[in-house]
Amino acid sequence: MAVEHVERKWGMAVDADKCTGCQACVVSCQAENNIPLNESDHFLQRRAIQWIRIERYWEGEFPEVKARFVPMLCQHCENAPCEPVCPVFATYHNNEGLNVQVYNRCIGTRFCANNDPWNVRFFNFWEPVWPETLRNQLNSDVTVRSRGIMEKCSFCVQRIRRTIREVTREGREVVDGDVTPACVQSCPTNALVFGDLNDSDSEVDKLRKGGRQYRILDHLGTEPSVYYLSKVDPHAVTEEAHA
Amino acid sequence: MGVTRRQLLKFSGIGMLGAVIFAGCRIPDREFIAESPVLIPEDLVEGQDAYFATLARPSTGVESVLVRVMQGRAKKVEGNPDYPMSRGKHTAQAEASLQELYHPDRIATPLRRVGNRGSGQFESISWEDAIDELQSKLNEYSGNPGSVAMITEPLRGALGTVVNRFASNYGATQLAFEAVDQTVVRAAFKEMFNQDRLPIADVQNSHYVLSFGADFLSSWHAPLHYNWQYGEFRDTDSSKRGTLVQIEPRFSMTAANADTWVYINPGTEGVLALAIADVIVKEGLGDAAAMITLGDVIATHAQPLATAADVTGVSEAKILEMAHDFAGHQPGVAIGGGLAAAQTNGLFNMTAVYLLNALVDNVGKKGGILFNPDAPVKDLVSSAAASPLVDFQRLADRMRTNIPNGVNAVLVHGADPVYALPGGLQFGRAMMEHVQFIASFSNFMDETTAMADLVLPDQVPMEGWGDDVSDPGPGYESIALQQPVVMPFVDVRSFGDVLLATVEGLGGGMTRGLPWNTMKDAIRANAQELYKLNRGSIQQYPSFEEFWVGILQRGGWWDTKAKSKASTKAKIDKIPGNAVPSFSGSVAEYPYHLLPFMSHAMGDGRGAHLPWLQATPDPITTAVWSTWIELNPNTAKGLDVREGDILKVTSPKGSIEAQVYVNPAAPPKVVSIPMGQGHTEMGRYAKDIGSNVMSILDAVSDADTGALAWGATRVKLTLTGRRSRVPKFEGMVVPRLLDPVGEAGAGTPGGPLYKISNGKDHE
């Protein structure tokens, strides 16, 4: 099949100054992407699945104490270290900058998870189970992953595809704001912004050039597509103190 | 020269090999792209979906949402982009309402008790039989109508009208229950500004927010709207970025997001607010007219700065700094609630806090406190306050009394008082042993419903008609609409519809003021009134039917120009109540101050049956599926406990068990326990998980309003010798390329995990 040349490169900006740690994105993602129910045991075994999660870091102790929230999801790297190690090409980079997981190719070697510095790839240790009634909620646009395969944030590829189909039907091009992954849509403070990094008019492109931007583990040279905007703390001594 | 057969084959072979090698030198680029040769399901599936605007009603507040429906099934909740309180956003709690709709433990039919009360033995009956039985019981008690108590959640909108008129026509005793209510904040606004409705703080336009105990980003009223406002407040342009100061004895989610968190001794928030006000007046930093009007009241009640610092635990320098910053960064706003209001001197605290706004004259102004006007339709209830604890105390006392003053029947909807009232009240026991007939309209088998004789299960919001006058609203008239987006999943009927169906058989003027057959009729009748106004978000429609479709599509009606006309000047000659709080339990016997807090995900416990919410990490501790007690590291060291040790937490009214979580932000001498767990009912995801902190609270209340002072109980801690791991997100991810979070909270050299900017370094 010929590969369509697409100019888009999807990316996200995460404004840590706006993130309140409210977890709306986490639950929204679980609803959209048919993520298995995380039961108590899954947390105790450190096998809970959250495609997007809020990491909380402590600084100091009472009374001089701070908690910092960092939303963490697949960084959709340009040079993704998880991609070349897959023996069956179950994970690959598509022509829109997405790091894609093909569930029906995955054979569960977990090499990708081993090579993923952000810990954003999840292995299905169990067959996902929902009570019969709760299955009514499952999103029919998204595959339910079976036991033995990897899964991860897809930037809600099904929403991207749906939007492209819709705008094509309307006879127009995709414009900034047309595509919103579930986490971005729900985020009450607008801390998450999604868009085309190649579109210089897009909000995400402006934010990633705004001055506060950085990329997590940038020194690894993987070229993540997720840009973070630093938390603003008027009492912070210097930025370097945390680097 | 002849070519032999052998030579021909040799040249051909070389030629073919060469062709292959030549071709191999130019492999098409795309062969290196490991592109899927087939489209994956995410590329292929395309069903017909539809989005409908309706309401989600989690315990954290009503939200206007769009529900994505495919083939008659609700798939996804998204915030309504049109409605002013939602702005296209929604909370985790609203999302989880999908699980409420399809919950495996929903009550699927009307039930009649067959075993002993509380035994959990019920039989399914038809709706006709259920309504007949309800009617016959109400007829039986009609000679003593006051002996019938109706307990509901605070009800607004058309359902509020239906229930209020039903109760008043019958003559029933009516109570509104909310485990964590806003009674004290409402009373403060009534006292100062004669306002019945909750105001909204215009955080988005503020430069400085001084919050006393109001965990407005997590569990205080309207957290969704306040989160949206907070996003605007933290403007990307740092020169416009607002400053948030959170004053609270617990490190809440709002405290974690504040620029400065100030620890204060519990219950002394009013003293601090008055000290700040006193500085503003003495240094002439406030509004000139307001300082003249309010100067005497402040001077009468304010304590000397040194005394205030001593009482509150906040240094004199900090008090002066906050006073200068608050007055100097206008528009700024002071808000109060949560733990500051949940004290025996709650009204004193709230009055003192909100007085600060009057002092800088920011009431009714951009960036300050905005009043909310009543809905412009007479049959819509705009404001519904919860009944104070003392009303439930009286009801429990009446239950234990013989008729005629006793209680024959309890009708309960949207409230679980048996679970959520403080254990010191013994409400459940009184109801269990003394009330003849209990009817529940709950759609889940909660603790109160488990005691019921008759269960008439209500619809969830996605299945039925409803509306809501947003309280608090956005500062102007706004009404949200709820329409059914899917067919009822089980055999349930709307509470309002059942009441309207019941009145016909009761006679005796029961239909007075209730001309509607169904809730939909009532809501359409109210919409007719809105249509006649011909203003607001939906106007100039040629017919009512088109208007009706318009408001259903947009999820409601609002008018940005219809603001409150009430006076914004505070009228107050004294601050009610005591400056100093009192607590249940002596310091000697109960050395720790218990600070219960609403679970971020499950609220007061009404969301505990939803697995998504159980599995949502607490923002601060990241704990899930459990009840934990937050201890200061030194306190833990003193008790010789570590994370996971199970402590017995004993108050003067009872004890529970909780797992230790050592929280570096926990102040010494206070311990925090989340509400929401410890259900003995509520289905498979809630039952027998954790402990119910409300069960050990003493029934102490604010002296002036009678509201539950849920922050006024002291406890002692004893070791049980048992331990189990705390289920939590923290530690689940072991960063291999990063240092474990430690000294600087940073990652490997050159690879920060997160960065902090002082807001100036990039300008």
Q: What is the DSSP string of B644-662?
A: TEEEEEEETTEEEEEEEEE
Distance CA B395, CA B413 (A): 16
Distance from CA of B88 to the nearest CA of A (A): 7
Q: Which of B645, B544, B572 is nearest to B277 (CA)?
A: B572
Which chain B residues contact residue A44 at CB under 8 A? 725, 727
Q: What type of residue is B732? A: M
Q: Across the interface, which of B36, B70, B756 has its CB nearest the CB of A242?
A: B756
In sequence order, the β-bridge partners of residue B662 are B631
B612 vs A233: CB contact, 8 Å cut-off? Answer: no
State the average pLDDT over residues A57-82.
94
State the average pLDDT over residues B484-503.
96
Which chain B residues contact residue A207 at CB under 8 A? 236
The pTM (predicted TM-score) of the whole model is: 0.93
Give the percent of chain B with pLDDT over 70.
93
Q: Across the interface, which of A40, A94, A105 has its CB nearest the CB of B625?
A: A40
Give yes or no for residue B164 having a pLDDT over 90: yes
State the average pLDDT over residues B136-159.
96
Judged by CB atoms within 8 Å, which residues 13-52 of B form the interface with A?
Answer: 30, 33-38, 40-43, 45-47
Distance CA B364, CA B414 (A): 33
Which chain B residues contact residue A184 at CB under 8 A? none
B89 vs A23: CB contact, 8 Å cut-off? Answer: no
Give yes or no for residue B734 having a pLDDT over 90: no
State the average pLDDT over residues B267-273.
97
State the average pLDDT over residues B189-208.
95
- A103 within 8 A of A49, measured Cβ to Cβ: no
pLDDT given at position B31: 45
CA torsion, ordered B543, B547, B550, B555, to nearest 10 deg: -170
H runs (alpha helix) in B457-593: 495-503, 519-533, 544-554
Average pLDDT, chain A: 91
């899930």: which residue's tokens? B624
Number of domains present in the structure of chain B: 2
As for the ipTM of the complex, it is 0.95
Domain membership flag for residue B670: yes
Give the percent of chain A with pLDDT over 70.
95
């399914």: which residue's tokens? B124
Distance CA B653, CA B648 (A): 13
Q: Which of B657, B622, B625 is nearest to B641 (CA)?
A: B657
Backbone phi and psi for residue B137, each to the nearest 5 degrees, phi listed first = -65, -45
Which chain B residues contact residue A5 at CB under 8 A? none
Task: At B116, list the tokens.
Answer: 């002993």
Half-sphere CA count of B416, side-chain side, radius 13 A: 24
State the average pLDDT over residues B111-116.
96
pLDDT given at position B235: 81
Distance from CA of A201 to the nearest CA of B (A): 17
Cα-based distances in Å from A32 to B193, B353, B587? 45, 42, 50
Q: Tell me which of B322, B341, B370 is where a domain ends.
A: B370
Residue A146: DSSP 8-state: -
pLDDT given at position B37: 47
A234 vs B251: CB contact, 8 Å cut-off? Answer: no
Provide the pLDDT confidence category of residue B676 given band limits of 50, 70 and 90: very high
Half-sphere CA count of A52, side-chain side, radius 13 A: 31
| Element spanning B148, H or E | strand B148-152
Task: At A84, list the tokens.
Answer: 């070349």
Distance from CA of B369 to the nearest CA of A (A): 20
B754 vs A23: CB contact, 8 Å cut-off? Answer: no
């945390």: which residue's tokens? A242
Q: What is the pLDDT of residues B631-660, one digit of tens each?
A: 999 999 999 999 999 999 999 999 999 999
Provide the pLDDT confidence category of residue B747 given band limits of 50, 70 and 90: very low
With residues binned 3-state (H G I as helix, E B as strand, rest as coil), the percentages for chain A, rounded to 5, are 20, 20, 60
A211 close to B (CB below 8 A): yes
Q: What type of residue is B508? A: G
Which chain A residues contact residue B620 at CB under 8 A? 56, 67
Q: Which of A19, A234, A191 is nearest to B243 (CA)?
A: A234
Task: At B665, list the tokens.
Answer: 């932000």
pLDDT given at position B16: 77
Distance CA B629, CA B644 (A): 10
Handedness of CA B512, B517, B522, B524 (dihedral sign): negative
First to last CA, chain A: 46
Q: What is the pLDDT of residues B577-634, one digit of tens each?
A: 999 999 999 999 999 999 999 999 999 999 999 999 999 999 999 999 999 999 999 9
Which chain A residues contact residue B90 at CB under 8 A? 24, 28, 186, 188
B78 close to A (CB below 8 A): yes
Residue B550: DSSP 8-state: H
Q: What is the pLDDT of residues B436-486, one digit of tens each?
A: 999 999 999 999 999 999 999 999 999 999 999 999 999 999 999 999 999
Give yes or no for residue B488 having a pLDDT over 50: yes
Best residue in B29, B38, B95 to probe A by mutation, most A CBs within 10 Å?
B95
Distance CA B384, CA B381 (A): 7
A17 close to B (CB below 8 A): yes
A43 vs B664: CB contact, 8 Å cut-off? Answer: no
With residues binned 3-state (H G I as helix, E B as strand, rest as coil), the percentages for chain B, rounded to 5, are 35, 20, 50
A134 vs B735: CB contact, 8 Å cut-off? Answer: no
Please tell me whether residue B468 adopts helix, strand or coil conformation.
strand
- B631 within 8 A of B641, measured Cβ to Cβ: yes
Distance CA B124, CA B113 (A): 9
Domain membership flag for residue B530: no
Which chain B residues contact residue A165 at CB under 8 A? 46
A1 vs B35: CB contact, 8 Å cut-off? Answer: yes
Domain membership flag for residue B700: yes
| Burial per residue of B746-763, b for 16 or more beta-carbon CB atoms within 10 angstroms, e otherwise | bbeeebbbbbbbbbebee
Name, in order, each residue with C-beta under 8 angstroms of B25's C-beta and a sequence gap of 6 or more: none
Handedness of CA B418, B419, B422, B424 (dihedral sign): positive
Give yes or no for residue B365 having a pLDDT over 80: yes
Backbone phi and psi for residue B64, each to the nearest 5 degrees, phi listed first = -85, 125
pLDDT given at position B225: 97
B758 vs A236: CB contact, 8 Å cut-off? Answer: yes
Domain membership flag for residue B51: no
Distance CA B284, CA B277 (A): 10
Distance from CA of A95 to the nearest CA of B (A): 9
Task: At B296, list the tokens.
Answer: 């005497």
Q: Across the interface, which of B664, B730, B762 has its CB nearest the CB of A61?
A: B664
Name, in order, each residue with C-beta under 8 angstroms of B137's C-beta and a sequence gap of 6 or more: B409, B437, B439, B454
Domain membership flag for residue B80: no
B35 vs A3: CB contact, 8 Å cut-off? Answer: yes
Q: Across the interface, which of A58, A182, A237 has its CB nearest the CB of B664?
A: A58
List the CATH number of the domain containing B664: 2.40.40.20
Distance CA B190, CA B341 (A): 15
- B173 within 8 A of B395, measured Cβ to Cβ: yes
A70 close to B (CB below 8 A): yes
Look at chain B and count its residues: 763
């209001």: which residue's tokens? B341
Which chain B residues contact residue A216 at CB under 8 A? 747, 751-754
Distance from CA of B607 to the nearest CA of A (A): 14
Which chain B residues contact residue A141 at CB under 8 A? 42, 45, 47
Distance CA B141, CA B144 (A): 6
pLDDT given at position B196: 92
DSSP collapsed to 3 states, B491-517? CCCCHHHHHHHHHCCCCCCCCCCCCCC
Name, in order, each residue with C-beta under 8 angstroms of B670's C-beta and a sequence gap of 6 or more: B249, B250, B266, B592, B593, B594, B595
pLDDT given at position B153: 96
Q: Tell me which of B348, B370, B392 is where a domain ends.
A: B370
Backbone phi and psi for residue A128, each to the nearest 5 degrees, phi listed first = -65, 135
Extract the runs of DSSP E, i.e. beta strands, from B325-384: 332-336, 369-370
Distance CA A182, CA A158 (A): 10
pLDDT given at position B733: 77
pLDDT given at position B1: 56
Task: At B416, list the tokens.
Answer: 């679980």
pLDDT given at position A240: 43
B40 vs A22: CB contact, 8 Å cut-off? Answer: no
Q: Across the interface, which of B33, B78, B217 has its CB nearest the CB of A20?
A: B217
Distance CA B217, CA A153 (A): 26
Domain membership flag for residue B285: yes
Give yes or no for residue A217 having a pLDDT over 90: no
A75 close to B (CB below 8 A): no
Give yes or no for residue A6 having a pLDDT over 50: yes
Task: At A169, list the tokens.
Answer: 């039907």
Domain that holds residue B635: 592-723
State the average pLDDT over residues B325-329.
96
pLDDT given at position B758: 77
Q: Across the interface, which of B46, B75, B734 has its CB nearest the CB of A139?
A: B75
Domain membership flag for residue B73: no
Cα-based distances in Å from B78 to B87, B89, B466? 10, 7, 18
Q: What is the pLDDT of residues B409-437, one digit of tens each?
A: 999 999 999 999 998 899 999 999 999 99
Q: Which chain B residue lies closest to A213 (C-alpha atoms)?
A: B755
Domain membership flag for residue B110: no
- A138 within 8 A of B45, measured Cβ to Cβ: no
Which chain B residues contact residue A43 at CB under 8 A? 615, 624-625, 727-729, 732
Give yes or no for residue B745 having a pLDDT over 50: no
Which chain B residues contact residue A90 at CB under 8 A? none
Which of A32-36, B258-262, B553-557, B739-743 has the least mean pLDDT? B739-743
- B47 within 8 A of A142, measured Cβ to Cβ: no
More confident residue, B43 or B339: B339
Distance CA B137, CA A150 (A): 58
Q: What pairing do the DSSP bridges indicate for beta strands B409-413 and B369-370?
A: unpaired
Q: Tell me which of B688, B704, B723 is where a domain ends.
A: B723
Which domains does chain A carry? 10-242 (3.30.70.20)
Give yes or no for residue B736 having a pLDDT over 80: no
Provide the pLDDT confidence category of residue B47 given band limits of 50, 70 and 90: confident
Q: Which of B568, B536, B636 is nearest to B194 (CA)?
A: B568
pLDDT given at position A219: 83
Distance CA B391, CA B175 (A): 8
Q: Across the interface, which of B30, B620, B754 has its CB nearest the CB of A231?
A: B754
State the average pLDDT over residues A75-83.
96
Q: What is the pLDDT of residues B518-533, one digit of tens each?
A: 999 999 999 999 999 9
First to last CA, chain B: 85
Best residue in A14, A27, A228 to probe B by mutation, most B CBs within 10 Å?
A27
pLDDT given at position B740: 42
pLDDT given at position B44: 63
| Burial per residue of A143-173, b for 16 or more beta-carbon CB atoms within 10 angstroms, e otherwise | bbbeeebbbbbbbbbbbbbbebeeeeeeeee
B42 vs A165: CB contact, 8 Å cut-off? Answer: no
A20 vs B230: CB contact, 8 Å cut-off? Answer: yes
- A229 within 8 A of A87, measured Cβ to Cβ: no
Q: Which of B141, B661, B197 is nearest to B411 (CA)?
A: B141
Q: What pairing do the DSSP bridges indicate for beta strands B173-176 and B148-152?
A: parallel
Average pLDDT, chain B: 92
- Using only C-alpha atoms, chain A has a radius of gyration, in whole angstroms, of 18
Full DSSP string of B693-725: GGGG----B-TTT--B-TT-EEEEEEEEEEE-P
Which chain A residues contact residue B70 at CB under 8 A? 140
Q: Across the interface, which of B38, B70, B750 has its CB nearest the CB of A140?
A: B70
